[in-house]
Amino acid sequence: MATARPRKIFLDANVVIRAGKPPARPLIPRVADLVDVGYVKVVTTDLTRMEIAKKHAGNDFEVLGAIAPARRSEFVSPP
C-alpha cells in the first residue's frame, strides 16, 4: 500500500555511476520498483545528471579506444 506522501530520496551521482551502465547492481531496479508502487520519489539536479552522463560518456570512449586503438588514430590524426 503506497503512502499518501512518498518519501523523497536523492541519489548521488556516485551511487548511480557505481551501479553501472546499464545498471548491473540491484540498487537501481529496486529503487525503480519503489517509485512504481509510490513509496518513494527520486529527486535529482541537473548537475548530478550531467555528472552521470559525463562519466558514462568517458567510459564509452575508453571502451571504444580499447576495441579499435589503431583506427582511433586515423580519426584523430590529420591526413
Domain definitions of the chain by residue range: 7-76
Instruction: Indicate the average pLDDT of the chain.
Output: 78
pLDDT score for 35: 92
Cell, residue 75: 580519426
pTM of the predicted model as reported, rounded to 2 decimal places: 0.59
Sites in the chain below the pLDDT cut of 70: 1-3, 23-24, 60-79
Spell out the long-range contacts of 42-47 with Cβ–Cβ below 8 A and sequence spacing 24 or more: 42/8, 42/9, 42/10, 42/11, 43/8, 43/9, 43/10, 44/10, 44/11
pLDDT of residue 67: 66
How far apart, in whole angstroms, are the C-alpha atoms of residue 37 and residue 16? Answer: 21
